[in-house]
Structure 1
Amino acid sequence: MLRMSLLATLAFTLCQTVAHAQMSHHQHASETACEETALRCASKVTPAFAPDGTLWLAFMAGGHISVASSKDQGRSFSAPVGVTKKKYTLDWGPDARPQIVPDKNGGIALAFSTFRDKAFNGQVFATKSADGGQSFAEPTPITANNESQRFVALGLDTDGSVFAAWIDKRNRVPAGEEGRKYEGAGVFFASSKDGGATYSETQLAADNTCECCRLGMAFAGPGRPVIVFRNIFEGGIRDHAVMTFADPATRGDVRRVSHDDWQIAACPHHGPSLSISAAGTYHVTWFTSGKARKGLFYARSQDEGRSFSDPIPLGRADRNPTRPYVLAGPHGTTVVWKEFDGEKTVVNAMTSHDEGKSWSTPSTIATTTDTSDHPMLVSDGQKTYLSWMTKADGYRLLPIGDGS
């Protein structure tokens, strides 16, 4: 047990070293910097628009998960509603954040992860509001398994069901008992037919994946979830892969996004982003430090992930570009990422109106001089917005482009 603890500590140290090398000068606000549960104290903020146009935020602050809503595109917010009644040791990893999906009937599914011990083993909790976000049910584990789960992703299907996927280490136990080497973790999934109140039996999507990177999730059509994740290919290569499900209970093939050839026995803490346009184009952004290429990249697929375009580099290498995010919105596809110019952190954006074949010149759309969360994109069906939490300037929701 001591040896396992030491190995876990060493692995985490390596993970943090790699992560910090990729992060800009101020990557994200420390949760301990502000002990209140107010939005201004949030270190991680996840946005989602409800079908009625209400903007919902799920955020981490003061050891709690809370939600707040806005009916005026982020200019003002309701008083926060506590999702968690007790204080948790929330997963503060660079890629960890609460997940939220509001539906057309006033239901809101939410999930988050916690640290269970000092070895950074996690547990994913899920809950639901059935009264339009006025209250939430007591959070319960998304799976009965007692091994580590982290980096949950939630998606809302067209029929109102919720699809969930996360990183899970349960398969390391039988491997260890049989004396087999086990790398990374598995991607597991489940679905909910009651809007996130309860989930189906957990199933394995892919084993031996990277254990500490967020997942990207979208839908290729009704009942067809798609996930993108950092896989561990032969030889310890941690490149990205995509999986298209035949239905919410049937996994698909693991298909490689790119051949970056990043061989690393540590955790990058820097996961991918995925969005699928109405035309069916898969848009993916990611970070790598492989032999073939280093930095941030974008690629697209028009055959459901069977093949991808040549990767396009994002950002200026001398400004340490980080945390790319992509969204296929109502008027084109947008990619954002962060850079640090030596004095301030900036969010740059570029857009495409031809399914990712060509892109606009990158432009700076937001700046801050202090710590900040990852930049995210969200759409209300009319416009695409940058969602960004900063310590110095608070929460920002900024429209991108003019819709032309």
Structure 2
Amino acid sequence: MIRHGSLGIAALVLLQGTALGQMHRQHASEAACDEPTLRCATKTTPAFGPDGTLWLAFMAGGQVLVASSRDGGRNFSAPSQVTTKRLNLDWGPDARPKIVVDRKGGIALAFSIFRDEAFNGQVLYTRSADGGKSFSELKPVTANNESQRFEALALDQDGTIFAVWLDKRNRIPAKEAGRKYDGAGLFFASSRDGGATYAEASLAHDNTCECCRLGLTFAAPGRPAVIFRSIFDGGVRDHAVMTFADVSTPGEIHRVSTDDWQINACPHHGPTLTVAPNGTYHVAWYTNGKARKGLFYAHSRDEGRTFSAPMALGRPDRNPTRPFVLAGPTGTVMVWKEFDGEKTSVQMTISRDDGETWSPPKTILATGDTSDHPLLVTNGRKIYLSWMTKADGYRLAEIEDQP
């Protein structure tokens, strides 16, 4: 059984500069541990199954694997290989394998690989119908040969799996037509057979930032909602939310905040979105704009059409990064990372009144070495922090109630 893990890629600070420079630094740091085991995991993504089993999809040794825990993350099963050979997995700061587990115990996975040295990607998917013992042959989520990266998956109440990703297929037609083309397009597809096949890819919105993670959830049954870093007039890369009318029909985009971050580069620092049972949208993001700099939170009570004034998160002198927000049964929880010069900590705050007020930030875990991004996951009753650290291995911490 596996208990401890090792991680070697997550940055302690947001690396400013070109995407190429960032990726080389991240890639070089992976070499310390090269076995397809949880001990060597570089990215871990959690999901709870219907029976309470915790599933982890992770990257290690150039492969994607899955392991499960029935005792709250203290021990894990021997990993099952999703991939059969070493691949050039997307090792960018915001890339990781995605996993959803449906009510029948079916497991759907998606991840991206690099197809060349220019960081052109391809999103692959697979599924397991036997409780993670084996996985189907890897298939591309779209037949198009242009670059796709930063996929996200969400599971609807009826078992439909919805996928979004960033796709560069529109850049060549634009160039041939003599039009300027910035960034990538937000594309989507859905699966009604548990992730065995996906519908033909469709464009939701063009000219998005090409290298930041997407935040995806369902705002209501049949209505996906996604947050992404869009490219507005003047090359400004601020965040936007789109709510779909159904899994085939994109909606209008609405700007979350006018941060005025004009940058012709890749921040590699994507946003996060959750929708509470009452319909409130909660979002958090990073910006280095003219209007504000750092981590911020806002909420919307009209399906993302308008948002509250941005609320700053974390201590600026400790470089707050990598926010994640999740609405659960006892409130809305938000976490992020801070670095005090010696240790990286995960800070947590809770709102009991739908985002109007928040508890004082509290350190819930810390490490003296490198670590993955902090993620939140729920089993429907409680919310947990999921965090991979090099020094302390994989850690699952229950978010305890605060006064």
**Under TM normalisation by the shorter chain, which class is it?**
over 0.9
TM-score by length of 2: 0.94
Q: What secondary structure sits across from 2:327 in the alignment?
A: strand
Aligned residue in 1 for 2:313: 314
Give the deviation of 1:180 after TM superposition: 1.5
| Residue 70 (structure 2) aligns with | 71
Closer/same/farther in 2, CA of residues 60 and 338 from structure 1, 3 Å limit: same
1: CA distance between counterparts of 2:68 and 2:22? 36
Describe the superposition over 1:83-134 as per-residue Cα deviations: whole angstroms up to 9, x where unpaired.
0001110000000000000011121000000000000000000000011111
Q: CA deviation at 1:31?
A: 3.2
Q: Is the 8 A contact 1:28 1:373 kept in 2?
A: no
TM superposition shift of 1:30: 3.7
Mark the CA change 1:18 to 1:127 in structure 2 (over 3 Å): closer, same or farther: closer
Please list the CA deviations of residues 45-66 of structure 1 after superposition, one character each: whole Å capped at 9, or x if unmatched.
Answer: 0001112111100000000000
TM-aligned CA deviation for residue 32 of structure 1: 2.5
Q: 1:94 maps to what in 2?
A: 93
1:34 maps to which residue?
A: 33
Counterpart for residue 332 of structure 2: 333
**Partner Cα distance (2:249, 2:45) in 1:** 28
Q: Between Structure 1 and Structure 2, how many residues are aligned?
A: 388
Question: 4+ residue stretches of structure 1 with deviation over 6 A?
Answer: 26-29
Structure 1 stretches of 5 or more lacking a match? 1-11, 21-25
Which residue number in structure 2 is paired with residue 274 of structure 1? Answer: 273
Q: What does residue 19 of structure 2 align with?
A: 15
Residue aligned with 1:235, SS: helix
Is the Cα–Cα contact under 8 Å of residues 26 and 92 in structure 2 kept in the other structure? Answer: no
Q: Structure 2: how far apart are the matches of 1:324 and 1:337?
A: 4
**Structure 1 position 19, deviation (Å):** 8.9
Give distance in 2, aligned partners of 1:252 and 1:332: 28
Matched with 2:293 is 294
Match of 1:264 in 2: 263
Deviation of the 1:27 alpha carbon: 8.8
Aligned partners of 1:47 and 1:318: how far apart in 2?
30
Separation (CA, whole Å) in 2 of partners of 1:146 and 1:296:
35
Partner of 1:32, secondary structure, is: helix
Distance 2:66 2:344 in 1: 26
Counterparts of 1:160-179 in structure 2 under 5 Å?
Answer: 160-179=159-178
Secondary structure of the residue aligned to 1:131 is coil
Q: How does 1:196-207 map to 2 (within 5 A)?
A: 196-207=195-206
Gaps of 5+ in 2: 1-15
Q: CA deviation at 1:295?
A: 0.1
- Look up the match of 1:230: 229
Aligned mates of 1:373, 1:29 — CA distance in 2: 16
1:242 — aligned with what? 241
8 Å CA contact retained: 2:26, 2:91 = no
Paired with 1:28 and 1:369, the residues of 2 have a C-alpha distance of: 21
* CA shift digits 1:332-385 (9 cap, x unpaired): 001100010010111100000111100000010001111100000001111111
Distance 2:34 2:316 in 1: 36
How does 1:370-385 map onto structure 2 within 5 Å? 370-385=369-384
**CA distance 1:28–1:382, shift in 2 (3 Å):** farther
The superposition leaves residues 128-174 of structure 1 with CA deviations (integer Å, 9 ceiling, x where unpaired) of 00111111001110000000000000000111010000000000010
Once residues 42 and 370 of structure 1 are traced to their aligned partners in structure 2, the CA distance between those partners, rounded to angstroms, is 14
Q: CA, structure 1 residues 403+137, in 2 after alignment: closer, same or farther (shift >3 Å)?
A: farther
Contact 2:23 2:92 in 1 (8 A): no
Shift of 1:33: 2.1
* 3-state DSSP of counterpart to 2:235: coil
Identity of aligned residues (%): 69
The change in CA–CA distance for 1:19 and 1:126 in structure 2 (over 3 A counts) is closer
8 A contact 2:336–2:374 mirrored in 1: yes
Q: Measure how far apart 1:72 and its partner are.
A: 1.3
What's the CA shift string for 1:179-199, capped at 9, x where partnerless? 211100000000001011100
| Aligned counterpart, 2:141 | 142
Secondary structure of 1:220's counterpart equals: strand
